[in-house]
Amino acid sequence: MYMSMQQKEIFLKHLNEMNHYKQALELMTWDRHTSIPNDGLQDRLEIVGFFTEKLHQLQTSDKMVNCFEQFLSSGDPILQQAAQVCKTTYEQKTNIPKEEYKAYAMLCSESEAVWHQAKQEDNFKLFEPFLEKIVSYKQRFAAYVGYESHIYDALLQEHEPGLEVKEIDEVFADLRPMLIDLLQRIKNSEAVVDASLLRVPFAIEKQKSMSLALLERIGYKLNKGRMDTSAHPYTFGINPNDVRISTYYDENDFTRSVFSAMHEGGHGLYEQNFGTDIQHTLLAEASSMGIHESQSLLWESFISKNKLFWESNQDVLKAYAPQEIQKLDLETFYRSLHQVSPSPIRLEADEVSYPLHIMIRYELEKDLISGKIKVSSIPEAWREKSAAYLGVTPSNDTEGVLQDIHWSSGDFGYFPSYALGYIYAAQLYESIDGALNMEQIYRDQNLHLVKEWLKEHIYQYGKRKTPLQLLKDTTGKGLQTDAYKTFLQDKYKGIYHL
């Protein structure tokens, strides 16, 4: 179909306008996490609400519908995909009746406050009626959105387009026994792996300089970004030329700030390297939440926790780390980064326990949405799964079912992406190793070549490819757990002498 220059210009202008509001909102998010004075929050919320409403109007206007319908089968390689994103957004914004969504948003806002109190008082009963209402909204919303086989698929789509319960169930069923077994063998191992060797005073300014030096090595550009401090590490992609990350500091545990910086640096590399051809088109966003997470985990877990990474970055350690760290031999340093000790709390989990935490929540939220389990039975079910998977039973609901805010904010269908990120990352790392020879890359301090590979195969496409397309085009395969299982087993076999 032939589209006139004028039609193109109008569509591009609309896309650009939405992009302007999005950039302003992202800047305000960054500001809220890193800079805003306390008393400024109230006014800011009002402005964020105003701009969000303006953006919503653009996303759902008749003009916009007219635009995207014209371009859905236009044959223009980029605008056709941009039209698809606009259509999906339009449907997400309009398939739920406005009044119902408003009531739900108010419920969530109240519910978050109640969750805070319930967590503080270890009182699940307080939160229970709110969770019941939220689940029932989510069930209705899923019906509005529609699904083919499982009701939870409707919620998954928002975060991981193209993936369904069936596939995730298979993958998790495959991983679960391996992880439980690995945890058990580590527990039985007599090897000494002691993270406390790294917990020595380390000036925050020096931690910061060390993180910045490592970020430079992996190719994160400070002329297109900056690193701030915030309560939770975060990446703020305002546009590809302005991608800010944040980290946090524990003066007695530099691993928190440095590996958070590597994690957010991975997200940041993705956002700094979207193709220039898709900027301002709404396609300059991550393919999915899981793919975004795969980029942070690739750089954090697969690369910056690799022994060879630290061998080739000894000069950075020498420049910034205190004597107590420098005097550790490389093997001890590396092993200390990998102490495994299951905790009931996800945010304190090691690499081996982490996916099991995800499975606990995924299985329970899936059963909540499908009606297989009642809200009142959740605390007990949580304890049982925690004991069965992690070998630890939370001593109360604060450490158990109440530990995370997500359900109280209505975030369902979001957790699986954390685990999918690991699996994608393992598959990608395997492909990169095949193409570039990672051992040589580390030895030659050539990590920028990894960034270039990712730019060519992943980053530049933004939303132009789905997660499964990206996997297929880079690995020739679909979602597969082999690489991830091999990675974990090999790594911990070495560390714990299994």
Candidate ranges 30-38, 161-169, 444-452, 483-491; the one touching a copy of itself (CB under 8 A): 30-38
Closest CA relative to residue 97, chosen from 147, 146, 144, 155: 144
Q: Does 65 bind a copy of itself (CB under 8 A)?
A: no
35 lies in the binding site for a copy of itself (CB under 8 A): yes
Contacting range for a copy of itself; rule: CB under 8 A; set: 79-87, 234-242, 263-271, 325-333: 234-242
Q: Which of residues 162-201 bind a copy of itself (CB under 8 A)?
A: none
Q: How many residues form the binding site for a copy of itself (CB under 8 A)?
A: 31
Query: What's the min distance (Å) between Cβ of 279 and a copy of itself?
Result: 8
Chain centre distance of CA 170: 21
At its nearest, how many Å lie between a copy of itself and the CB of residue 194?
Answer: 34
Nearer to a copy of itself, 24 or 114 (CB): 24
Work out whether 264 is an interface residue with a copy of itself (CB under 8 A): no
Chosen residue from 4, 5, 6, 37 binding a copy of itself by CB under 8 A = 37
Question: Could you say which of 29, 31, 256, 446 contacts a copy of itself (CB under 8 A)?
Answer: 31
**Alpha carbon of 66 to those of 58, 71, 85, 167: distances in Å?**
12, 9, 14, 36
| Sequence-ordered list of residues with C-beta below 8 angstroms from that of 16, at least 6 positions apart, any chain | 280
Strand 242-247 relative to strand 234-239, pairing? antiparallel
Q: How far is CA 65 from CA 85, 237, 357, in A?
A: 12, 27, 41
- With binding defined as CB under 8 A, does residue 203 bind a copy of itself? no
Only one of the segments 47-55, 134-142, 160-168, 470-478 lies at the binding site for a copy of itself (rule: CB under 8 A); that segment is: 47-55
Q: Is 305 helix (H, G, I), strand (E, B) or coil?
A: coil
How far is the C-alpha of 361 from the C-alpha of 365, rounded, in Å?
6
CA distances from 379 to 374, 386, 402, 406 (A): 10, 11, 9, 16
> How many Cβ atoms sit within 10 Å of the Cβ of residue 34?
17
Residue 290 near residue 280 (C-beta atoms within 8 A): no
Q: Which of 34/437 has CB closer to a copy of itself?
A: 34
Residue 239 contacts a copy of itself per CB under 8 A: yes
Tell the residue number behind the tokens 């957010």, with chain if given. 264
List 103, 106, 113, 222, residue binding a copy of itself (CB under 8 A): 222
The Cα 351–Cα 492 span in angstroms is 10
The window from 20-28, 117-125, 253-261, 465-473 that contacts a copy of itself (CB under 8 A) reads 20-28
Q: Does position 293 bind a copy of itself by CB under 8 A?
A: no
Q: Which of 221, 346, 472, 493 binds a copy of itself (CB under 8 A)?
A: 221
**Rounded to the nearest 5 degrees, what angle is found at the Cα of 265, between the Cα atoms of 294 and 35?**
125
Rounded CA separation 421/295 (Å): 8
Output 42 or 188, the one with its CB closest to a copy of itself.
Answer: 42
Cα dihedral 140, 141, 142, 144 sign: positive
Catalytic positions are: 264
Kindly tell me which of 32 and 140 has the beta carbon lying closer to a copy of itself: 32
| Residue 246 structure tokens | 């944040």
Cβ-based nearer residue to a copy of itself, 49 or 322? 49
Residue 251 touching a copy of itself (CB under 8 A): no
Contact with a copy of itself (CB under 8 A): which of 24, 96, 180, 213?
24
Binding site for a copy of itself (CB under 8 A): 17, 20, 23-24, 27-28, 31, 35-40, 42-44, 46-47, 50-51, 221-226, 238-239, 241-242, 244
